[in-house]
Amino acid sequence: MEKKSRRHFFKFSLSTTLISGVIALLMFRASYWQWTRHEAKIALIAELENRMQQEILNQNELVNFKNDWSQLIHRKVNVTGNFDFDKEMILRNRRYKKTPGFYVITPFKLANSETAILVNRGFIPDKQSDPESRIQFRNYPGQISFYGLIKDTMNRKFLAPEDPPAGENNKWVDAWLRVDIQHMQKQVPYKLLPVYLEFIATNSAEISLEQIVKSDVDKTDMLFLPSRSETLSTQDEARTYPIPQVNTYVPPGRHLGYVFEWIILALITIAIGFIAQLKRN
């Protein structure tokens, strides 16, 4: 006796259609969001490159700037003054060549001015991050001039952890999550400029775009990542700290890859929703 062949037919299910449809729409939305990030990153990097190629600002131009401070982000500047090591702070959860540590943030009192600016002097290992150990890293005890890259203050993102309260009636906050200048100002006795600097060098302002836009960073944050590479070698451990660092950005291509990933996942979800509604006779 011949067996009857079983055929599949489509049996509509409202719940299955809605669930798969909503999930697919969310994935398409995520794909579009990554596309906007891709476009925004292209514009950001073009602007970054343009500003890095502009003429180096002098200290008076920085101190007397009266316009929108965002116009100066990623510009280079040459400043002269003294580091106030007694008011030094550190940024937590930073890395250099996959070695955990901190960035050293030191107020820099500008010469012939009543204002100061925070400076990211660079990376130190976590085992040498307490205030007593950091005394050995006071590399410039007198007046110096150096070149720096102007960076914007870091505001707390939605749902991100908060830094401890600072200022009057609060203990000195040594370790921070971000360079929140308005917050840090509360425990510094002099006026801080609303931007900060990343230390480049005392004798050169040379820094390439490739040092800032890197494709070898981790995926833990799609927009903004600390620099990271490989574990510190013995030679690295013997070098002078802090190691100057610049915060890096992932290239636009990373976002473009996610655009196609989300589209593929959305199409797979639609296919699964359709297959789930196929029934056998």
Question: Residue 14 domain-assigned?
Answer: no
Per the structure, the count of domains in the chain is 1
Percent of the chain whose pLDDT exceeds 70: 88
Question: Residue 210 domain-assigned?
Answer: no
> Residues 156-185: what's their mean pLDDT?
91
What CA–CA distance (Å, rounded) separates 129 from 99? Answer: 13
The per-residue pLDDT for 59 is 96
Using pLDDT thresholds of 50, 70 and 90, give the confidence band for residue 3.
Answer: low
pLDDT digits 0-9 by tens, 227-274: 443 444 444 444 588 998 887 677 778 888 999 999 999 999 999 999
What CA–CA distance (Å, rounded) separates 87 from 174? Answer: 9
Using pLDDT thresholds of 50, 70 and 90, give the confidence band for residue 123.
Answer: very high
Question: Residue 72 domain-assigned?
Answer: yes
Whether the predicted model's global pTM rises above the 0.85 cut: no
The per-residue pLDDT for 231 is 46
The per-residue pLDDT for 278 is 86
Question: Residue 158 domain-assigned?
Answer: yes
Which amino acid, 213?
V
The per-residue pLDDT for 110 is 97
Question: Residue 235 domain-assigned?
Answer: no
> Residues 62-72: what's their mean pLDDT?
93
What CA–CA distance (Å, rounded) separates 74 from 81? Answer: 21
48 touches 74 (CB < 8 A): yes
109 touches 248 (CB < 8 A): no
Question: Residue 77 domain-assigned?
Answer: yes
> Residues 74-91: what's their mean pLDDT?
96
Report the SS3 class of residue 222.
Answer: coil
CA distances from 228 to 122, 147, 271 (A): 13, 23, 40
Question: Residue 17 domain-assigned?
Answer: no
Neighbours of 170 (CB within 10 A): 11
Question: Residue 107 domain-assigned?
Answer: yes
Question: What is the residue range of 115's domain?
Answer: 57-204
106 touches 184 (CB < 8 A): no
> Residues 197-219: what's their mean pLDDT?
76
What CA–CA distance (Å, rounded) separates 52 from 205? Answer: 10
CA angle in degrees (0–180, nearest 5) for 104-109-115: 120
The per-residue pLDDT for 214 is 67
Task: Give the alpha-carbon dihedral of 131, 134, 136, 138, to 10 degrees.
Answer: -100
What CA–CA distance (Å, rounded) separates 98 from 231? Answer: 5
154/281: higher pLDDT: 154
- Phi and psi of 198, rounded to 5°? -105, 120
